[in-house]
Amino acid sequence: MLTIEVFKARAFRLALAFCLAVSVATAAAFGLIYLQVSSADVQRVGAILVDEAAKSADDSEAGLRQALELRLTRDIRRLDYVALFDASGTKLFGNVPAMPAIPVDGRAHVVRAQALPDASGAEPAIFVARRRLDGGLVLLGRSLREAYELQEIVLRALAIAILPTILLILAIGAIFARRASQRFERVHGAIVRIIDGDLDSRLPFDNGGDDIDKVARAVNLMLDEIARLLDKLKSVGDNIAHDLRTPLAVARAKIERSLDNAVEIEQLRETMEAALVQIEKVSTAISAILRISAVEHSAREAQLTEFDLGAVCSQVFDLYEPLAESKFITMDIDAGKPVPVRGDEDLMREAISNLVDNAIKFTPPGGAVRIEARTTDGCALASVSDTGRGIPPQERARIFRRFYRGEHSSDTTGHGLGLSIAESIARLHGFELAIEDNDPGARFVMRGPEKVSSAPGRGQTLTPGLRTWARSERFL
């Protein structure tokens, strides 16, 4: 079964296709070599014979006969053919039994079956016949036995080499197919474990950096993010259950007690009003959760426009200054110059409002809250600082979690969602929300991307629409 899977693997099919391509290329290369070798050798011998026949046309008969005898004497391998005929066609000298059937034109011609001088057989040869000045004829030739033997050697080499080449390529393909099959089996096994609930499993990858490794690393990063979100979701679920259970339990207890003990309508009304307060707390928490989800899913991203962040800070200042005065807290603002940014103005107003509301909530009477908006190194910056108790360094990594409330926040109201909403809105706009020491107190700084080219005009007072927003988006 494993062998069948290997042969079905894509890697093996690619190796098979590569094998066929290499085989065809090898055969074509050998064929080209075969043709070039045979043709070049025949052409070279023919050119030599044509040149020698042309030179012998002017020689005397006695001198030519002597030269031909010397040629045969030196021909140890018995490859040369020579003959001398008179004007009537009678052979005067030579080792050719008879004149071959070729034209007398001084050009090279191949004879496929030339009788050997000893009449023991025939062989391929090339001949040149040329007419002499005295009317006679000189015939020069050479055996092509060696050239044909070389051709046969090339063909045999091709036949011998092609089969091992094919087998070698197939073996290499099978090896790579097996490795690929094992690799995919490991990946499949990891996927099955993840599907079965083992979310700590990750896809295996090598350090080669090929495409499969890149995909595996990307999937592992995705799984890390999914695991982080699941942990966050579990934490949120636990926190929601904890935060919603108390007001619901209080409302239930008040209603049950009233049903058991109340005898007048006014007593029932007071109990119902107290229960409604607890239910309103639950409703507020649920609305805040839905608000964070909408922000994180960029539900309002299509409404991005250019606006002045300094104007938004001024509007928030006008909204919260009366609340700060009622708590004997001094508020001031430094947003005199335009700070153009691009985004959702209402969402950014909500983020700044949550930061200011948080600062006022944790600043004691006699303290101060300051809002700043400016452009630094081409980047928009907004900050809210206070002189409250501050945030310990060990809590700063958790302060933006949903429902998280610090160790010293038990005496204040809220659900621990305001900073989470502010951080989600900042991230949606490409801003980074960080916490710094204000000595005393804390300073929340939003650093954004580069400023845009222009911004709309600034308004320093609350419009009716903004007042409506302020009433609908109750402080968390």
pLDDT score for 240: 59
Cα(246)–Cα(428) distance, rounded to whole angstroms?
33
Residue range 327-376, pLDDT digits in tens: 999 999 998 888 898 888 888 888 898 899 888 988 999 999 999 999 88
Q: Is residue 222 in some structural domain?
A: no
Q: Which of 131, 149, 167 corresponds to the end of one domain?
A: 149
Pair 94, 72 in one domain: yes
For residue 73, count CB atoms less than 10 angstroms from its CB and return exposed for 0-12, middle for 13-18, buried for 19 or more.
exposed
- Picking from 124, 149, 174, the residue at the C-terminal end of a domain is 149
pLDDT digits (tens, 9 = 90+) for 365-420: 999 999 999 988 888 999 999 998 878 777 766 676 655 555 555 455 555 567 87
State the pLDDT at residue 456.
42
Q: Are residues 370 and 433 in the same domain?
A: yes
| Domain co-membership, 99 together with 234 | no
Q: Is residue 157 part of a domain?
A: no
The pLDDT score that the predictor gives to residue 408 is 52
CA distance 250 to 242: 13
In contact, 139 and 82? CB cutoff 8 Å: yes
Which of 6-15, 246-255, 325-334 is predicted most confidently? 325-334
Question: Which candidate, 458, 459, 434, places its Cα nearest to that of 448?
Answer: 434
Residue 425, domain member (yes or no): yes
DSSP 8-state symbol, 258 = H
Burial of 371 (0-12, 13-18, 19+ CB in 10 A): buried
Residue 329 shares a structural domain with residue 458: yes
**Is residue 377 domain-resident?**
yes
User: Is 279 found in the same domain as 248?
Assistant: yes
Q: Phi-psi region for residue 373, left (φ > 0), alpha (ψ -120 to 50) or beta?
A: beta
Quick one: CA torsion of 259, 264, 267, 272, rounded to 10 degrees? 60
Which CATH number belongs to the domain containing residue 236 in this structure? 1.10.287
Q: Is residue 263 part of a domain?
A: yes
When pLDDT is cut at 50, 70 and 90, the band that residue 293 belongs to is: low
Whichever domain contains 60, its CATH number is: 3.30.450.20
Contact criterion met (CB below 8 Å) for 380 and 451:
yes
340 and 442: one domain? yes
Domain that holds residue 381: 301-472
Q: What does DSSP say about strands 368-376 and 432-437: parallel, antiparallel, or unpaired?
A: unpaired
Instruction: Note the pLDDT of residue 367.
Output: 92
Give the whole-number percent of the chain exceeding pLDDT 70: 75
375 shares its domain with 319: yes
Answer with the one of 133, 149, 165 that is the final residue of a domain.
149
Residue with more model confidence, 428 or 322: 322
Nearest to 217 by CA among 208, 204, 200, 226: 204
Total domains in the fold of the chain: 3
Q: pLDDT tens, 70-121?
A: 888 888 888 888 988 888 888 888 888 888 888 988 898 988 888 877 767 7
Rg (alpha carbons) of the chain, rounded to whole number: 50
Taking 80 as the threshold, does the pLDDT of residue 64 lie above it? yes
Same domain flag for 263 and 399: no
Share of the chain above pLDDT 90, in %: 9
Q: Say if residue 316 is in the same domain as residue 404.
A: yes
Closest CA to 416 of 337, 359, 345, 358: 358
Residue at 457 is within a domain: yes
Place of tokens 């393909």: 173
DSSP 120: S
Tell me: the pLDDT tens digits for 143-191? 888 777 777 777 777 777 777 877 777 777 777 777 777 777 888 888 8
- Residue 190 in domain: no
Confidence of residue 67 (pLDDT cuts 50, 70, 90): confident
What pLDDT is recorded for position 201?
Answer: 84
Q: Whole-model pTM? A: 0.43
Q: Is residue 186 part of a domain?
A: no
What CATH number is given to the structural domain containing 439?
3.30.565.10
Do residues 388 and 282 share a domain? no
Cα–Cα–Cα angle for 49, 50, 56, nearest 5°?
85
Could you tell me if 31 and 121 lie in one domain? yes
Are residues 274 and 386 located together in one domain of the fold?
Answer: no
